[in-house]
């Protein structure tokens, strides 16, 4: 995301809709991580798409792009019983 409020709203809408379409009820979990200059967990892994959507809508565009830090932060947190690893 850049620093456009209207654009980030539509991106957040698209992300929330993607989760609702892609996640299988009672089978999948997802989490929301933010990354700017640091990676931070915004929502624990959950099957609740409304909770995930709310976490996504709470995100704000910043200036950093610590994407790889977010991946390294998130991968160990997404594992568990019944979890398919990437």
pLDDT, tens digit (0-9, with 9 covering 90-100), for 34-85: 888 888 899 999 999 999 999 999 988 877 778 888 888 888 877 665 555 5
Residue boundaries of the structural domains of the chain: 5-78
Q: How far out from the chain centre does Cα 86 lie?
A: 16
Position 84 scores a pLDDT of 57
Which CATH architecture best describes the domain 5-78? 3-Layer(aba) Sandwich (3.40)
- What are the phi and psi torsion angles at 25 (to 5°)? -55, 130
Of 63, 18, 69, which is closest to residue 41 (Cα–Cα)?
A: 69
**pTM (2 decimals)?**
0.71
- Asked whether residue 2 carries a pLDDT value surpassing 70, the answer given is no
Higher pLDDT, 63 or 31: 31
């Amino acid at each position: 995301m850049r620093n456009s409020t209207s654009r980030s709203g539509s991106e957040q809408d698209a992300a929330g809709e993607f989760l609702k379409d892609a996640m299988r009820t009672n089978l999948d979990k997802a989490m929301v991580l933010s990354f700017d200059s640091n990676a931070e967990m915004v929502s624990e892994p959950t099957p609740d798409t409304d909770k995930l959507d709310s976490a996504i809508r709470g995100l704000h565009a910043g200036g950093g792009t610590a994407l790889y830090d977010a991946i390294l932060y998130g991968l160990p947190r997404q594992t568990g019983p019944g979890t398919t690893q990437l």
